[in-house]
Chains A and B, each alone.
Chain A
Amino acid sequence: AQSVAQPEDQVNVAEGNPLTVKCTYSVSGNPYLFWYVQYPNRGLQFLLKYITGDNLVKGSYGFEAEFNKSQTSFHLKKPSALVSDSALYFCAVRPDTGRRALTFGSGTRLQVQP
């Protein structure tokens, strides 16, 4: 069975500062990893994914994430936070073979202060 841990319920950062939202995972086989963002009263939006290749993946809105196999982590990062980045962020994983459904973390609320 797979699992995702997002150890921080909330991350607070000042606008213009770098941000990191942490994610660790457990899965059998090779992981496919995803980050989604949820704005209030809106559905989940895909941000980025790691399937294979470069460990650093770039996605929408200036976000990037680094896959670290030895630490089983996939932390989300952005060099300079914007107030508009404030939202709920979910990390998700699925194995490369077998069940295609995603297993999600519990979410991290990012609050960017002006």
Chain B
Amino acid sequence: GAGVSQSPSNKVTEKGKDVELRCDPISGHTALYWYRQRLGQGLEFLIYFQGNSAPDKSGLPSDRFSAERTGESVSTLTIQRTQQEDSAVYLCASSLVGAVSSYEQYFGPGTRLTVT
């Protein structure tokens, strides 16, 4: 079946502009995660959605970052008033919940954001 897809694959924006990144999880995956990967570094957790539960926003670095998810499908990550330090690859992942096979997360190809 189809994997996790993300759009756009690349985004260049000017400092101060807002950007919106999109993630389509694997069909049937109720859990969705956003991570950020700065150049040469590991992944940093941003936010986690699980079904209708309140999202875990503990990783969002500032109030300029927000995310929404429509039911158990598409999610959008919005960064307002972008700063140069926001430049990174933003990765989305999804997983099943409730079975042993659900523990691994499946990642999309990422959106490379460059703030000039």
Interface residues of B in 75-116 (CB under 8 A from A): 91, 93, 95, 97, 100, 103-110
- Complex Cα distance, B8 from A85, in Å, reads 29
**List of A residues within 8 angstroms of B41 by Cβ:** 106-107
The secondary structure that dominates the A interface is strand
**List of B residues within 8 angstroms of A102 by Cβ:** 33, 43, 45, 105
Contact of A101 with B33 in the complex, beta carbons under 8 Å: yes
* Total count of chain A residues near the partner, CB < 8 A: 22
Whether B58 is near chain A, meaning CB under 8 Å from some CB there, is: yes
Give chain A's interface residues, CB within 8 Å of chain B.
Answer: 4, 32, 34, 36, 42-46, 49, 51, 90, 92, 99-107
Query: In the complex, given contacts A100-B48, A102-B45, what are 13 additional A-B residue pairs having Cβ atoms less than 8 angstroms apart?
Result: A34-B104, A36-B107, A42-B109, A43-B4, A43-B110, A44-B93, A51-B100, A90-B42, A99-B48, A99-B58, A100-B31, A101-B56, A107-B42
